[in-house]
Chains A and B, each alone.
Chain A
Amino acid sequence: MMSQVYIGTFDAGAAEVKFDSKRITFMLGKPTPGSNSYVYAHLAVTALKRFEVDKDRGTLCMWGMWDLHFADELNGAYMPFLSHMDAEASIFMQFNKADFPRSSWPSDILKVHPKFAQLIHFTSGHMGRPLAAHAPTAAKKPAPKPKAPSSQGGRQQKAAVSGGAGSSSGDMQQTLTGGRYTPLALQPSGDSNRVVLVYPDEQAKDAVTLTDEELQRLVENEYLNDTLVDYKLKQIQASLSPALLERCHFFNSFFFKRLMQSIGGNKRLKDPAAIAEGYKAVQRWTKSVDLFAKDFVFVPINDGEASVEEEAASAQGAVGGVTAPQFDDDDAVVNPPSTDVTTTRRADQLSPAALLPAAARPGREPCIMYLDSMGGSKQKAFHLLKIYLDLERKDKEAKGTAGKPLKVEGAGSVDLTAEVHEYRGEFDKMPEYDIEVPHQNNSVDCGLYMLQFVSRVAHEQPDLAGARKRRWEEAECQGGGKLGLKDLSPHDITEMRSDMYMTIKALGEEQQAKKKVKAEGKAEGAPSVAAGVADGKRKRSKKINDEDDDEC
C-alpha cells in the first residue's frame, strides 16, 4: 500500500529529517515522553524509489519502503500508516524555512549519496504522486494529509489515512506536543528460524547465520544475542581499512566464556593447573593469528547468568550477563556489562601516572582496558585475560610463532607447576584501565554499547605511545573523549539497532536475490552438479546409522 503523509512545518523542530549515506531518517525531534527513545522511521537509501524536491516551497517527497520497526511509538493518530510495516510509502515534508535555508539544502542532500542525485526530481508546485503513476498531479502543498492507496496517489487529500485517524497538520502538531503515543505492536513473524542472512556469505568459514529471531531482537527493548554480536563484530571488521584491520584482532562472543568455563569457573581462577588446562580449550582459536603482533585485541565479555542455563561459572551475584568491552594495546578486551549498577570510576583512579612506570615506553606498552556500560566487575576480566596472554605467549613461543616479547615493567615469571596461589606472569603488571564510559540507562542495551565501544575504538585506534597516549588516557578517563565515546548517547544506540536491522535485511535480500539467480542458472546449466548432489545425499542418509556412536 502506498500512502503519503504530510509532515508539516513545525515550530519547534518537532520533526526532522536526516540524510546520511545509508538512509533517510525521519524523526520527531524530541524523545518520546516517558522514555529516552526517539521516534523514527527510516528509509534505506537502497530502498529509495523516487525523490522530489521543490526548492521554492521547501518541500520534498520521498518514496520507498520505510522501515518502521523502530517506530514503536510512532503510530497513533497522526501517523497511522506506520502501522503497516513493509508498506511502501511516500513521505512528503515541508521544511521549516528557518531550519533549512533554501539555498543549500537540496545540494547538501545530494552530496550525501549518489543515489539521491540519480533519483532526484526537481519539481515545482506539487509533489506526492504515487510511484506507479508518474503523471504529475496537482497536489499542493500545505495540505496535510496522508494518503491514499495506490491508485490515487497523487493528491494529498484530506482523507484520513488508512488506519482511520484523519489528521490535519493541526492535529498532528497537537499530537506531537501532547505526547499521545501508543506503542506499535510488532507483527509476529512466523518462523523465527527462517534464515535471513548468512554473513558474510555462505562460503565463508566462520559465517554467522542470522534468522528472524535476530531481527526481532533488534527491536527496542530486546536483548541482543551472540549471533548479533558476532555478526556486528564481523561487520565492524569489514568496515575497517586493511591497515586498521591488520592491527586488530577480534575475539567472538564465546571466547571469554569458553575460557572461563574450561578453567572451571571463578573458584579455580587461582589454580595454575586448572588454568593451564582451561587454556587448551581456546588454544587453537588463535592458530592463525599472532595476538602479539596486534595493537588491539578485543574481547567481548558476556559474563554472568543472563544466558539461560549457564553453568556456575561466573556467579558473582552482581555480574550480569553482558558484554563489556575492554581492550588494550596489545590486547583488548571487550567486556560487557553486567549489572545495571552504575559504578562510576573516577578519573584519578585511572591516572596513567599512577599505573605506568614513568620511564620507558619507547615501544608499545601493553595495557588492558575494560569498557563496561554497566559498570560491572572487571577484576576477573583483568585477571583472566592476563593469564590468557601469558599462556598464549608461551604457547606461541613454543611453536616459534610469537612476535617479539612485550615488555611489561616488573613482570614476574610463571611457574605453572609451582603451588602458587597467585598467578604471576609476564603480563601481571600490565596496567589496567577501567575506562569510564557512558552507562546505559536500561538493562537491555549492553550488547549495543559494547559494539559501539568496539567500533569506535577500532576505527579510532588511539595511539598509545608517548604524549598522545597520555592525552588520550586523560581524555578517555574523563569520559571517552578521544575515542568518541563521550558523546555516545542512547540515541546512537537506538540508531545502531535500526541500522543493524536495516543492513541485515538489505544484505539478506541481496543474498536471496543472488541465490535465486544462481539457482536459475544452475537449473538449466548443470545437470551433472545436481546429480552429484543427489548422490551425495543418498550416501549420507545411509550413514546415519553408524555415524554417531557416542561413547560416553
Chain B
Amino acid sequence: MADEESKQGEEAKPNTMQLKVVSQDGTEVFFKCKPDTKLEKLMRAFCQRQGVAMESVRFLFDGNRIRENQTPNELEMEDGDSIDVVVAQVGGTPTTR
C-alpha cells in the first residue's frame, strides 16, 4: 500500500500521492490525490480536461481496468505511478465503422 508514506514526492505531503495519467498519444497529466480518494475524481477531472466522455475511454493500471470507486490504496498504487488511458475499442472492420 502506498500509505507508509515516506514518499517524498516533492510537494507531497504525507498522505498525498502524485499519479500520472498517460494518454495514448503520450500526453501526461499529473494529479495529486489521497490514497483513499476514489479514483472517480481523477478520472472525471481528466476527461473533463481532455474533453472526452467517460464512457469512451478506459483507465488502466498495470493493464488492469480501474473502476471509479476504487482508490489508489486498494490498487496498491504508489507515488509516481502511472495510469494509462485508452480509447474504447470496437471490433469490426474499418470500412463499416
Contacts and interface: CB of A to CB of B under 8 A. Distances in A.
Contacts of A551: 29-30
A543 B94 contact: no
B86 A257 contact: yes
Interface of B: 22, 24-25, 27-34, 36-38, 41-42, 45-46, 49, 55-56, 58, 60, 62-65, 67, 69-70, 74-75, 84, 86-97
Contacts of B91: 223-225, 229, 302, 306, 321-323, 336, 446-447, 450
Contacts of A496: none
A374 B89 CA distance: 17
B58 A547 contact: no
A284 B84 contact: no
A320 B75 CA distance: 34
A306 B88 CA distance: 11
Given A213-B55, A340-B93, A536-B36, A547 B88 contact: no
B50 to A, nearest CB: 10
B67 A198 contact: yes
Nearest to A281: B84
Contacts of A309: 87
Given A225-B89, A258-B86, A546 B67 contact: no
A506 B21 CA distance: 35
Q: What's the interface size class on A, roughly? A: 35 or more
A319 interface: yes
Contacts of A543: 33-34, 37, 41
Contacts of B90: 223-226, 306-308, 321
A321 B42 contact: no
A266 B90 CA distance: 20
A279 to B, nearest CB: 13
A230 interface: yes
Given A543-B33, A550-B30, A306 B64 contact: no
A540 B63 contact: no
Contact of A255 (B42, B58, B63): B63
A162 B95 CA distance: 41
Q: Name the 3 nearest CB pairs between A and B, nearest first.
A: A285-B63, A447-B91, A206-B64
Nearest to A287: B62
Nearest to B97: A306
Interface string A197-220: 010001001111100010000000
7 contacts: A208-B65, A252-B65, A258-B86, A321-B89, A340-B93, A543-B34, A547-B32
Contacts of A450: 91
A536 to B, nearest CB: 7
Interface in A216-239: 223-227, 229-230
Contacts of A340: 93, 95
B26 to A, nearest CB: 8
A491 B62 CA distance: 37
A109 interface: no
Contacts of A284: 62-63
A252 B67 contact: no
A445 B87 CA distance: 20
A414 interface: no
Contact of A552 (B29, B36, B92): B29
Contact of B89 (A254, A317, A544): A254
Contacts of B41: 540, 543-544, 547-548
Identify which of B30, B67, B88, B92 gathers the most chain A CB atoms within 10 Å of its CB.
B92
Contacts of A295: none
Interface string A308-342: 11110000010111110000000000001011100
A254 B62 contact: no
A224 B60 CA distance: 19
A308 B56 CA distance: 9
Interface string A282-314: 101111000000000000001011111111000
Interface in A505-552: 536, 539-540, 543-544, 546-552
B93 A320 contact: yes
Contacts of A302: 89, 91
Identify which of A205, A311, A443 gathers the most chain B CB atoms within 10 Å of its CB.
A205
A447 B92 CA distance: 8
B92 A321 contact: yes
A307 B88 contact: yes
A444 interface: yes
B95 A320 contact: yes
Given A540-B37, A548-B49, A550-B31, A254 B86 contact: yes
Given A253-B89, A285-B62, A311-B24, 7 more contacts: A209-B65, A339-B94, A339-B95, A450-B91, A543-B34, A548-B49, A552-B29
Nearest to B54: A193
B61 to A, nearest CB: 9
B79 to A, nearest CB: 14
A261 interface: yes
Interface in A63-92: none
B31 to A, nearest CB: 5
Contact of B94 (A202, A306, A447): A306
Given A254-B60, A544-B41, A552-B29, A227 B94 contact: no
Contacts of B67: 198, 202, 207, 209
Contacts of B62: 284-285, 287
Given A258-B84, A285-B62, A306 B24 contact: no
A193 B55 contact: yes
A510 to B, nearest CB: 19
A307 B69 CA distance: 27
